[in-house]
């Protein structure tokens, strides 16, 4: 049975991705850092396994994954965000954003790539954001981390393509999850008016894109950024 690891697998987008991939025939490792019960519940529903590690801690990542064997699909989805002025955000929060969103993805890829290279096969999908493509005021550290993921995707895709490994990026727009619960109904309406398709994205929209990038239907695609944003950034 093919194995997939989804970091942040119990968040809004992560859960939809785990369920979609299980449906596609993967045994899914549902990673969590804090939400143990939720991860275990999702894993039991889909016949997968919950796996604890903090993506920002390379030692924790390596020790959790050292006996996992060959994992053919890595979805780097774990992420945090914060709305604040660049000059007001705490140093600690700014470090967390870069360490989880960008270095976290690199830590996981570094842990799993040796087995992929040995197998001459593998697939890595990084969940970036439209703000990584065009930048968001008051989410500067977040935008920088997500732009970093795009740079990481392009560079590592070139490095590992000769080993038969594909690396792509999904850049979601405004997707209705916990991450966006902080907006008022009025703010949400203003945001919705800026979306050309006129509707918010759902975790399933992102999961469909991940499923496509994970499959052989995209076998000639690597190093690319697939936007799932209702036309918000074109
Ligand atoms: P969410 O519901 O808040 O989920 C975030 C997930 O990240 C949680 O499962 C959380 O797990 C995990 N996580 C946080 N810190 C972690 C760490 N140190 N190690 C391992 N896991 C960690 O957010 P979401 O909306 O589903 O977002 C998922 C991804 O999509 C993020 O990368 C986000 O930036 C990106 N994205 C979201 C949107 C959107 O509009 N929602 C748009 C563009 C991009 P624990 O609870 O266990 O900590």
- Show me where the domains of the chain are located: 2-228
**Would you say 97 and 56 are in contact if contact means Cβ atoms under 8 Å apart?**
no
Ligand 1 contact, 10 CB (< 6 A): yes
Task: Supply the pLDDT for residue 100.
Answer: 99
Q: Which residues contact 20 (CB under 8 A, 6 or more apart)?
A: 204, 207, 208, 210, 211
List the Cα angle 65/9/224 in 5-degree steps: 85
**Structure tokens belonging to residue 178:** 């916990």
Residue bearing the CA closest to ligand 1, atom 44? 129
Indicate the CATH number for domain 2-228: 3.40.50.720
Task: Supply the pLDDT for residue 142.
Answer: 98
**Would you say 137 and 166 are in contact if contact means Cβ atoms under 8 Å apart?**
no
Q: How many CB atoms lie within 10 A of CB 69?
A: 8
Atom of ligand 1 nearest to the CA of 178: 2
Q: What is the pTM of this model?
A: 0.98
Ligand 1 contact, 91 CB (< 6 A): no
Distance 147 CA to ligand 1 centre (A): 16
Question: If you ran DSSP here, which 8-state letter would residue 137 be given?
Answer: T
Ligand 1 contact, 181 CB (< 6 A): no
Task: Supply the pLDDT for residue 1.
Answer: 82
Q: What is the Cα–Cα distance from 43 to 34, expressed in whole angstroms?
A: 15
Mean pLDDT by 10 residues, the chain (234 residues): 96 98 98 98 98 98 95 98 97 98 98 98 98 98 99 99 98 94 93 97 98 98 98 97
Task: Supply the pLDDT for residue 181.
Answer: 87
């Amino acid at each position: 049975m093919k194995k997939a690891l989804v970091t942040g697998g119990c968040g809004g987008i992560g859960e939809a991705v785990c369920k979609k991939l299980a449906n596609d025939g993967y045994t899914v490792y549902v990673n969590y850092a804090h939400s143990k019960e939720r991860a275990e519940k999702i894993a039991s529903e889909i016949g997968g396994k919950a796996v604890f590690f903090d993506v920002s801690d390379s030692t924790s990542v390596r020790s959790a994954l050292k006996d996992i064997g060959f994992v053919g699909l890595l979805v780097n989805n774990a992420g945090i965000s914060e709305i604040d002025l660049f000059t007001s955000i705490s140093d600690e929060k700014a470090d967390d954003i870069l360490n989880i969103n960008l270095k976290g993805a690199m830590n996981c890829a570094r842990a799993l790539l040796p087995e992929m290279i040995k197998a001459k096969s593998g697939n890595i999908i990084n969940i970036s954001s439209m703000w990584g493509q065009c930048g968001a005021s008051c989410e500067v550290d977040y935008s920088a981390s997500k732009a970093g993921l795009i740079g990481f995707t392009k560079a590592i895709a070139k490095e590992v393509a000769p080993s038969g490994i594909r690396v792509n990026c999904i850049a979601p727009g405004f997707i209705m999850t916990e991450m966006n619960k902080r907006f008022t109904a009025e703010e949400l309406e203003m945001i919705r008016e800026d979306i050309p398709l006129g509707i918010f994205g759902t975790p399933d929209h992102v999961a469909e894109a991940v499923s496509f990038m994970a499959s052989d239907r995209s076998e000639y695609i690597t190093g690319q950024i697939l936007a799932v944003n209702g036309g918000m950034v074109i």
